[in-house]
Amino acid sequence: MYFLLMSYVCGIVLLPLRLSGPEGSCSGRLEVYHNAAWGSICDDQWVIRDAEVVCRQLGCGKALSANGSAAFGAGEGVIWLNRVECRGDEIHLWDCSYSLKNHTDCSHKEDAGVTCADTVRLVNGSSRCAGRVETLYGEEWGTACEDDWDMKNAAVVCRELGCGEAVDVLGNAHFGQGSGRIWPHQRFRCRGNESQIHLCSSSSTLKQNCFNDSDVGLVCADSLRLVDGSSRCAGRVEVLHRGQWGTVCDDDWDMRDAAVVCRELGCGEAVDVLGDAHFGPGSGPIWMDDVDCSGSESTLKNCASAGWGKHNCNQTKNVGVICSGKLYYFCNECNSQLLY
């Protein structure tokens, strides 16, 4: 009862976690957002069990290692967490015990990070959103067998990578042949609504006729992006229409609209909406105005709006969004209560 009450109060104050690695990566220095600042985690007692929980929470698959001693570089500013102790089977980091405060007794030379196993990537395309499908099996990357891939699998991979909708599945090693192995025994059967490929059911039946020239390629729409923010999950909302990127007007824009954007980009939940060109004016056309999503749409394009290019707006009013990232929140008050 007490906890529920606190959760409710905490619905207002959100505390994101993020990995400061390369874009879309499942490895990097770990950071937590608290009291309006991103801060590091100190590596005292930072072990693989803790990394397992972080990787699970991030939807990043298996933990390969818990890296300490600023292995991914030293952060700046505050160090918020220390003495994280997980059993290893928790769903979220906040289910573990830890100390949350301004840890001035720890230095950034002790920043903690994790190496999780990304489970899927697109290789040798024009962007990270197109290319040959490669999946991780154990600790080795390999290619998928063409006959096993359909648009439902493709939809899941595009979503997992934050690349919008699936546009096409290409056979005949369109993006070249992988140098790694083919996984004839890793055959995914997605329904299409899963958030990650490893959540799809997979059949382990050995597929006999898998050759390198059947390496499957995938093209995702990548028709939505967040620009000029601190990461690909925050910034000015831009949509691609008729080959040109344009902005969206902030009229009537609310958290439900932001939620659709964040979900479509594989960026977790919506944290904030910022109007009045907070992330700067865009240079292209204003493509959307009076956007009114119900919140359940799978893509921004399916939301009600004034129509492509129809607006009474200017670039001083374009909208920006901050998403949580592939991450989850826990709230300040709750954890303070639980901790102390």
CB of 293 to ligand NAG, least distance (A): 18
Beta bridge partners, 19, equal 30
Q: Work out whether 175 is an interface residue with ligand NAG (CB under 6 A).
A: yes
Smallest gap, in angstroms, from Cβ of residue 36 to ligand NAG? Answer: 8
Task: Tell me which of 182, 234, 265, 331 binds ligand NAG, using CB under 6 A.
Answer: 182
Binding range to ligand NAG, per CB under 6 A, among 13-21, 171-179, 235-243, 290-298 = 171-179
At closest approach, how far in Å is the CB of 71 from ligand NAG? 3
Number of H helices, E strands in the chain: 5, 22
Nearest to 96 by CA among 105, 110, 88, 86: 86
Residue ranges in 223-262 that form contacts with ligand NAG under rule CB under 6 A: none
Q: Which of 109, 189, 191, 310 binds ligand NAG (CB under 6 A)?
A: 191
The rounded distance, in Å, linking the Cα atoms of 124 and 134 is 11
- The 262-291 contact track toward ligand NAG, x by CB under 6 A, reads ------------------------------
| Distance separating alpha carbons of residues 149 and 284, to the nearest angstrom | 36
In 3D space, the residue among 250, 252, 245, 254 whose CA is nearest the CA of residue 227 turns out to be 245
Write down the least CB distance from residue 252 to ligand NAG, Å.
15
Rule CB under 6 A: say whether 208 interacts with ligand NAG. Answer: no
- Using alpha carbons, list the distances in angstroms from residue 176 to 118, 238, 330: 21, 31, 43
Furthest C-alpha separation in the chain: 60
What's the rounded Cα separation, in Å, for the pair 114 and 220? 28
| Span near ligand NAG by CB under 6 A; candidates 53-61, 63-71, 149-157, 242-250 | 63-71
d(CA 339, CA 24): 31
Which position among 8, 87, 89, 102 is part of the footprint of ligand NAG (CB under 6 A)?
A: 102
Positions in the binding site for ligand NAG (CB under 6 A): 37, 65, 67, 71-72, 78, 102, 104, 115, 124, 175-176, 179, 182, 191, 193-194, 211-212, 314, 316
